[in-house]
Amino acid sequence: MQPAKLDKLTAMAHEQGRPFRILIVDDERWVREVFRDYCALTKVFEIDLAHSGEEAIRMAAAQTYDLITMDLIMPETSGLEALGAIKRANPKTPVMVVTGNATDKLVHEAGVQGASGVMYKPILLEDFISALVDRLER
């Protein structure tokens, strides 16, 4: 990660007096763990993990997050359904879509429902953290 971005992120966390709270939502365990490990390298994030859209909705109702990353294609409650529910309950919480195989139509619908951006898997460490920093700066 670029030292300037890490310095800015660290300063932002220090300014607010706490680490950034991030919820990572993906039905694939290894993806959740890789993203969690990426975030742990910065030491300015507190990470929660959710394995389903339904779990993400419950967690977002119980806890305030600075940012949520959301896979779109998940069984049962899809990421799109979860995104809509979370944005209705917490319209100011940024939700970043992370997907590997969503259609353009699905990605467009996520934008209509309030997604603040999209990242495509596979994602490199630098790109993932950079996208989070960009969203948190807004």
Closest CA to 110 of 100, 123, 124, 96: 96
Q: Residue 83's pLDDT is what?
A: 96
What is the C-alpha to C-alpha distance for residues 73 and 64, in angstroms, rounded to an integer? 24
What is the C-alpha to C-alpha distance for residues 65 and 108, in angstroms, rounded to an integer? 23
Q: Residue 4's pLDDT is what?
A: 78
Q: Residue 16's pLDDT is what?
A: 92
Using 50 as the pLDDT threshold, list the residues of the chain that sit under it.
Answer: none
- Are 85 and 57 contacting, i.e. CB atoms less than 8 angstroms apart? yes
Q: Which amino acid is at 59?
A: M
Q: Residue 129's pLDDT is what?
A: 82
